[in-house]
A and B are shown apart, each in its own frame.
Chain A
């Protein structure tokens, strides 16, 4: 399967700081990327969908000014958690699909564990 990477894998920050998480598709061009968050023992919650070169579409209840998404190229999307607070602590996972690949198979990154003190 295709490879999606995330960086960093783990980040600890103080309340009020901003954190940027990078998501890269390593061996394919990702026309669409998705950002999820996951709380312990729960399933994934979709935050937003982004297509290369256009603004992200956010799910209901997700603050677009707090979670800034930039899908600047076909292989890179970034999620910036602005002015992070302890309640933003979570596991963030990105995912990507490519129309160029058959079947719309979706591939996931390894996740980023964010802890806000």
Chain B
């Protein structure tokens, strides 16, 4: 059974510092991995999607890497801003059309 872990559970950084969020999964046989952001009381916003054949994806200040063999993904957020404060969730999909398995999330606070 796939298990997804995100450490740390919470993170607080001063504005301008780079953020590094970790995600690990136990079964390396994945179809894709997705990073989401969730603001309090809101739904999830898709940030980046990495296919199993890819090693990284970039969007603006965000960069996500994937090391399937070691069961790890890392989300980097450059030059953090207070608006980046949110909970970040990673999730993996075993096969096309299958459900996502979520990590517990990392709650990020960027202090001005």
Check if B46 sits within 8 Å of A108, measured CB to CB.
Answer: yes
Contacting A at CB under 8 A, from B38-72, are: 41-46, 49, 51
| Option from A32, A34, A111 in Cβ contact (under 8 Å) with B42 | A111
A contact residues around B89 at 8 Å (CB): 43-44
Closest chain B CB from A48 CB (angstroms): 10
What mask results when residues 74 to 117 of chain A are scored 1 for a CB within 8 Å of chain B, else 0? 00000000000000000101010101000111111111010000
Check if B46 sits within 8 Å of A97, measured CB to CB.
Answer: no
Closest chain B CB from A52 CB (angstroms): 12
A contact residues around B42 at 8 Å (CB): 110-111
Surface stretch bound by A, among B19-27, B75-83, B99-107: B99-107
A-B contact count (CB 8 A): 55
User: Is A49 positioned at the interface, with any CB of B under 8 Å from its CB?
Assistant: yes
User: Is A68 positioned at the interface, with any CB of B under 8 Å from its CB?
Assistant: no
User: Is A1 positioned at the interface, with any CB of B under 8 Å from its CB?
Assistant: yes
Interface size on A, residues (CB 8 A): 25
B contact residues around A110 at 8 Å (CB): 42-43
Check if B43 sits within 8 Å of A111, measured CB to CB.
Answer: yes
Knowing A1-B46, A106-B46, the reply to whether A46 touches B104 (Cβ < 8 A) is no
Closest chain B CB from A102 CB (angstroms): 9
Can you list 29 A-B pairs, Cβ within 8 angstroms, ordered by A? A1-B45, A1-B46, A4-B43, A31-B97, A32-B97, A34-B100, A43-B89, A43-B103, A43-B104, A43-B105, A46-B100, A97-B97, A99-B96, A99-B97, A103-B49, A103-B51, A104-B93, A104-B96, A105-B46, A106-B34, A106-B93, A106-B100, A107-B46, A108-B43, A108-B45, A110-B42, A111-B41, A111-B43, A113-B41
